[in-house]
Amino acid sequence: MMISTHSQEKRIIMLIIDTLMDSSLQAAIKSGKAPALQFFIENGRYFSNLVSPFPTMSVNVDSTLLTGVSCDKHKVPGLVWYNQKEKRIVNYGSHVRELIKLGLKQFMEDIFYNINHEHLSKQHKTIHEILKDKGIQTASINALLYRGSNPSELKIPFLLSLFTGLNRKVKSYSPDLFSYGAMHRLNPLKKNSLFWQKYGFNDKFSANELKYLISQNKLPAFTIAYFPDLDQSIHKNGRTDIKGIQKVDKELQKVLNQYQSWDDALANNIWIILGDNGQAWIDKNRNKALIDLRKLLSPYQIVKLNKGITPQDEIVLSVNERMSFIYSLDTQKVPLDDIARILQTDNRIDVIALKREKTITVTSGIHGGYFHFHPEGDFVDEYGQSWYIEGNNEILDLEIMNKRIKYGDYPDALARLYAPFFSHEGKYIIVSAKPGHEFIGEGSPTHVGGASHGGLHKQDSLVSLIITGTNSTPNHLRTLDIKDWLLSLIQ
């Protein structure tokens, strides 16, 4: 297929900055540590309340961003989930302790191949695939979710292959211009892609690849560049961390400096800068902060990661930091209602949900009673979605007036909580922790005294969005609405 240069004068450059949110961004700008981001804001429009999909984990968010559908349709439920068909826990990279127990080779296959080519539904095309069909070139730099139509090959570094047993070459389908750390690069000069530099999955590598496209005049109509480093800084230092913002801003300054002036950078491109998920604060007291699901659910036989599923096992835990999927392997022996009742005894758990056919029932460790809901009813929310609702509205902090639903602490709560129950097979409960707390299982990462994400709360869910170069905005301020908006800009 001939790829057109496309008549659009301005190229679209989308910068995804992991965990870019208002609290840390404003703190950095006030202290003068973020001149590049401040420049974009002052010359464009800034929104502090873009709503991420739930679970608020990057793989789910990025899948929604690329496909324009929620996880009930794109089928990537979260960072950790149980694959009932294969009878195994899928983990895209929570913590090395868990990955070693589950098997490093399987993890590598899941993250380097399966997530894009097996788990991400082929029923919904990515923005890269849609634009390729129109003869329009796109680029993906360091994004974990990147599926395109161009046959390509990931080259696995020798040491990584040696330690995990993964083949040195892995087939993939990518955008025409594709960068994926040390595995596939655009710039022939090797920089920032060694073992101790996370094999190129770092901000410097992303910036260098983007600078290369700009300096070589190779920017396509649409480019996604992913900057991962801020996430870990926020995890460690908390919601108002400035150091992480300052670090990514320095890389953005280098990108802007590729142009004769920063004003030229704006004149020639539409820049869209956004976070993927936020993070909620985590208590400094370890005993308060960590909700150990193994202790809470100790009456049941819980799957051990290094043993896999055995006939004696009753429950599978898939912990996604501040949310978890809790699966019953036999609901006759271990009814979901029984699990839910145990979870309700812990007042650190604010959302406990399970599915009965098309209805979701929500309880809480904080509020009494039940809340039931499903789509298509007499109540309409601020996104134009209609719902049947019944029960205690306080559980999801809903304000109801004249059959209109207004969301409080849980943005777009009904649609976001509904989708994960139809994202994969199995009988499971979904839990979300209130701010200050996160779940742990066997080998889970912890962020005591810092921040964490995954949950339904607005601290996990609201991210920053900066738009320059166009007066257009998405229909709604949700990640879910970004893809269709982008296509309207390019068409």
Of 442 and 7, the one with more pLDDT: 442
Residue 182 is predicted with a pLDDT of: 81
Per-residue pLDDT tens over the stretch 78-87: 999 999 999 9
Residue pair 137/208 in contact (Cβ under 8 Å)? The answer is: no
Residues 6+ apart with CB under 8 A from 162: none
Given a cut of 70, is residue 190 above it in pLDDT?
A: no
Question: pLDDT tens for residues 31-62?
Answer: 999 999 999 999 999 999 999 999 999 999 99
Average pLDDT over residues 218-232: 97
Question: Band of the pLDDT at 192, cuts 50, 70, 90?
Answer: low
89 pLDDT tier (thresholds 50, 70, 90): very high
With 90 as the cut, is the pLDDT of residue 112 above it?
Answer: no
CB atoms within 10 A of CB 86: 10
Residue 378's H or E segment, with its range, is: strand 371-381
Q: Give the Cα separation of 124 and 36 in Å (integer).
A: 35
pLDDT at 7 over 50: no
Question: Which 3 state secondary structure label does DSSP give 408?
Answer: coil
Q: What is the pLDDT of residues 323-337, one digit of tens each?
A: 999 999 999 999 999
Q: What is the pLDDT of residue 94?
A: 79
Condensed to tens digits (0 to 9), the pLDDT of residues 194-203 reads 544 557 789 9
Preceding amide of 55 cis, omega within 30? yes
Greater confidence, 183 or 441?
Answer: 441
pLDDT given for residue 175 in this prediction: 97
Please check the confidence at residue 453 and state whether its pLDDT lies above 80.
yes
Residue 191: pLDDT band by 50, 70, 90 thresholds? low
User: Average pLDDT for residues 264-272, to the nearest whole number?
Assistant: 96
Mean pLDDT to the nearest integer, 459-478: 97
pLDDT at 9 over 60: yes
Confidence of residue 420 (pLDDT cuts 50, 70, 90): very high
Bridge partners for 407 per DSSP? 398
Percent of the chain with pLDDT over 70: 95
pLDDT tier, 193 (very low <50, low <70, confident <90, very high otherwise): low
Give the model's confidence band at 439: pLDDT under 50 very low, under 70 low, under 90 confident, else very high.
Answer: very high
Q: Which two tokens stand for residue 86?
A: 């294969």
Question: Residues with Cβ < 8 Å from 107, sequence gap 6 or more?
Answer: 91, 92, 93, 99, 164
Is the confidence at residue 371, as pLDDT, over 80?
A: yes
In this prediction, residue 1 carries a pLDDT of 31
* Per-residue confidence band for 393, with pLDDT thresholds at 50, 70 and 90: very high
Parallel, antiparallel or unpaired: strands 323-328 and 315-320: antiparallel
The pLDDT of residue 97 is 79
Higher pLDDT, 121 or 193: 121
All structural domains of the chain, each given as residue ranges with its CATH number in brackets, are 11-76+120-282+460-490 (3.40.720.10), 286-449 (no CATH)
**pLDDT mean over 303-309:** 91
- At 491, the pLDDT band (50, 70, 90 cuts) reads low
pLDDT tens readout for residues 128-185: 999 999 999 999 999 999 999 999 988 877 776 666 767 778 889 999 999 998 888 8
Mean pLDDT in the chain? 93
Scanning the structure block, which residue is given the tokens 């650190």? Answer: 348
pLDDT band at 102 (very low <50, low <70, confident <90, very high): confident
3-state secondary structure of 450: coil
Core vs surface per residue 456-480: b (16+ CB within 10 A) or e: bbbbbbbbbbbbbbbeeebebbbbb
105: confidence class by pLDDT, cuts 50, 70, 90: confident
The confidence score (pLDDT) of residue 165 equals 66
Tell me: pLDDT of 4 over 60: no
